[in-house]
Structure 1
Amino acid sequence: MQQPAWKVRELRVLRLVKGNPGASLTDLARLTRFERSAAAQILMRLIETGLARCVG
């Protein structure tokens, strides 16, 4: 199975998720300065690949 190619934006969100456990989607969008919808798409990809998870 081929590894997914990660974009800088995705790695940025992953780093913030790791460094800010429990952060909301709104928090991540604010910290990255991405549109909320863009942050949501990136976060969903991270969740689908098992690199992030939803809590609460």
Structure 2
Amino acid sequence: MIVHYILQVFFLNLDIIILGTGDQLNIVTTTADAKAVRAASAQGVDFHVYIHPPFPLTGN
């Protein structure tokens, strides 16, 4: 359970870094992680994003 929480925090921070980079470059960032975008928006930070439907990356 603790590992799951740590992974959630890690990936949320990674998402914010990626979205923040797009913001600094003034470009639209494409993501399937609407949760991170909503979390940032709830804190008053709005990113320019295109949210696409999630799909598995199978490598095929």
TM superposition score category, shorter chain reference: 0.3 to 0.5
Greater Rg, structure 1 or structure 2?
A: 2
TM-score normalised by length of structure 1: 0.37
Higher strand share: 2
